[in-house]
């Protein structure tokens, strides 16, 4: 069975009949004319799958499968949006999805990394941050700071911390967050949360598609 998470910037594919790990493919490189999967989630997933599962549903099922705790907050930070699921004693208490105030946050961070050739692993977590509610509009803070003499690296670091704080507040500011998505690999982003963070990686939604209830 072929499963897929069709993200805005990256697609994750998993062949359940193979021992190989999931495949990560930039969405721009996807063979859109020939791709067809059994079960999918994510942006544009309905176009390429026999069965489609809502992203929040896949996230919730993936979290329940991966996290060995009855109560937890799972936050997914993607290229295009942010979403969270809160479990309490094994039952979903709350969930949310923000594609407007969370717009393009992950994509913008990746764009800035490439444009300024920044290694986020070597950036210190700043003491202060910019107030960020939108990845695209928030870039103006970087430009303004650089014009006034701040280094590009420090300005970007404040931007990234602002995004992390916005995501933290959106998820109802828990004491501990399980993090899903490509930003799990960004140490500056992970370290900017004012709480304990457990990164789960990019494939949480794929994990959710493997649960029996998804078939």
Has residue 57 got a pLDDT over 90? yes
Pick from 160, 168, 152, 76: nearest CA to 125 = 160
Has residue 136 got a pLDDT over 70? yes
Which pLDDT does position 39 carry in this prediction? 97
The hierarchical CATH code for the domain 54-204 is: 3.30.420.40
Q: Whole-model pTM? A: 0.92
Mean local confidence (pLDDT), 31-53: 91
Which pLDDT does position 78 carry in this prediction? 86
Has residue 101 got a pLDDT over 60? no
State the pLDDT confidence band at 8, using cuts at 50, 70 and 90.
Answer: confident
Query: What mean pLDDT, rounded, does the chain reach?
Result: 92
Mean local confidence (pLDDT), 46-74: 96
Q: Lowest-pLDDT range, 42-46, 72-76, 123-127, 148-152?
A: 42-46
Mean local confidence (pLDDT), 156-172: 94
Which pLDDT does position 125 carry in this prediction? 96
Q: Where are the domains of the chain?
A: 54-204
Mean local confidence (pLDDT), 97-122: 83
Mean local confidence (pLDDT), 178-201: 97
Comparing 5 with 106, which gets the higher pLDDT? Answer: 5
């Amino acid at each position: 069975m072929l499963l897929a998470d069709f993200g805005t910037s990256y697609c994750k594919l998993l062949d359940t009949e193979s021992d190989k790990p999931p495949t990560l493919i930039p969405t721009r490189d996807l063979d859109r004319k020939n791709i067809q999967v059994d079960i999918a989630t994510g942006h544009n997933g309905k176009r390429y799958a026999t069965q489609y599962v809502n992203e929040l549903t896949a996230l919730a099922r993936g979290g329940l499968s991966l996290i060995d705790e009855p109560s937890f907050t799972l936050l997914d930070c993607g290229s295009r949006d942010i979403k969270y699921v809160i479990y309490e004693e094994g039952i979903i208490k709350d969930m949310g999805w923000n594609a407007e105030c969370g717009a393009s946050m992950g994509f913008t961070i990746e764009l800035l990394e490439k444009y300024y050739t920044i290694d986020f692993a070597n950036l210190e977590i700043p003491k202060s941050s910019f107030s960020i509610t939108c990845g695209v509009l928030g870039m103006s803070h970087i430009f303004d700071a650089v014009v006034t003499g701040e280094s590009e690296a420090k300005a970007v670091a404040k931007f990234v911390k602002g995004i992390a704080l916005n995501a933290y507040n959106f998820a109802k500011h828990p004491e501990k967050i399980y993090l899903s998505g490509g930003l799990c690999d960004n140490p500056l982003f992970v370290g900017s949360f004012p709480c304990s963070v457990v990164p789960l990686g990019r494939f949480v939604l794929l994990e959710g598609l493997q649960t029996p209830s998804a078939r």
